[in-house]
Amino acid sequence: MNQVRQAGEALSQKLIWTDESAEPIRRTFAIAHNWRDSHGYPMNKFRTILNNQVKRNNTAGNAVARLKRMPSIRGKLIKQQWPLDKIQDLAGCRAILPSIKDAQALIERMRGLNGHVLHKEDPYIEKPKANGYRCHHMVFRYRGDGDDAVFHDRRVEVQIRTWLQHTWATAVEAVGAYRGENMKGGEGSSEWLRLFALMSAEFAATEKCAEPPGLPDRGARVGEIIELDKKLSAADTLENIAHAVKYTENIDPKSEPEYYQIIYDRANRIVNVYPFYSAVAGAEAYDASEITAEKSQSGVTSVLVEADSIDNLKAAYPNYFGDVQMFRTQLKSIVQGEAAIEYEMPKRIAPPRVKPREKPDDSWLRGRNKRWK
């Protein structure tokens, strides 16, 4: 753990690649990557739990998981001065539900989860952030028996949100990426940030939830949204984003990968998705691409996601694909004097199984992380 903390301290500083510094920097990344990757097994277990809880009521939701991107990790190390071993969302799972009723029911079931420790909650649906962010966060400490005890106390963040809340968060990230601004972090155009905060209040009103603090009542709010839409040409910009991203899918439709690496070239707005059929291969490719991007400063973003299908991947991470049409539809509806609409989705119907799926071999995760005993 001393090595992990030292790696975190090094990553919180500016890294300058030279012939002399290259090897120590690579060693630092190797330690940090290994620590992050050791959260993969608990993350997989929590995604399974989430999926089971979602299916329990035949809800038309989905759950995905991801290991946190190294640039985001470094951002926390720099801004918040946290030790690397104390960052609580190195592994994250997200469940997206059709309605606020479904989301609240899942939150209650996760609170009653046995076998693992609920370490922390941030109820951003009950108490939205001032910028409009709404989503329920729960941090669990993993508990394992036998060989799984090696992952004792690994922390996994679980996010539970509605499709309406997800539509908002997606648009914030997509517009920020399109404009080259960290809008998710509250940076960039004050007018766009104001529009997003106002739209969040509209979505909260539709879901009959608490609205972000400090915003006007609905009459004044809608008037301001109309003005900002005209000034920013917001609806047109959202349409342009949808057509600006070129997407390539390198996946055999007959295959069933469980891991996907999304690589987003911000400068050229090109997205490539690569499948992986084992977690270790995905983690190795993910680690290597992050070191390459750090060294070249190319602006290429990479994320490794665990999902049941490419459709679930696109639904959970539409910001990478420029998919902001749901938010655009809601914006146009509000500008025309109508209210935002909560999504109505059909109940999940399980498809017939053509052949039984083999139980995945997760022994590599135990072997990869024996050093953490």
Beta bridge partners of residue 306, listed in sequence order: 65, 259
Q: Which residue has the higher pLDDT, 19 or 158?
A: 158
Q: Which residue has the higher pLDDT, 310 or 41?
A: 41
pLDDT the model gives residue 137:
98
> What is the residue-averaged pLDDT of the chain?
87
Top-ranked range on mean pLDDT: pick from 13-27, 50-64, 184-198: 184-198
Beta bridge partners of residue 264, listed in sequence order: 271, 301
Per-residue pLDDT of 247-287, as tens digits, reads 777 777 778 888 999 998 878 888 889 999 988 999 999 99
Do 193 and 215 meet the contact criterion of CB atoms below 8 Å apart?
no
**pLDDT (average), residues 85-97:** 94
The Cα 249–Cα 251 span in angstroms is 6
pLDDT the model gives residue 343:
66
Question: CA 5 from chain center: how many Å?
Answer: 25
**pLDDT (average), residues 152-179:** 94
- % of the chain with per-residue pLDDT over 70: 91
- % of the chain with per-residue pLDDT over 90: 60
Q: Could you give the domains of the chain?
A: 2-13+20-343 (3.30.460.10)
- 363 pLDDT higher than 80: no
Per-residue pLDDT of 66-82, as tens digits, reads 999 999 999 899 887 88
Q: Encoding tokens for residue 259?
A: 């891991």
Q: Which residue has the higher pLDDT, 162 or 355?
A: 162
pLDDT the model gives residue 362:
54
Do 43 and 67 meet the contact criterion of CB atoms below 8 Å apart?
yes
pLDDT the model gives residue 145:
84
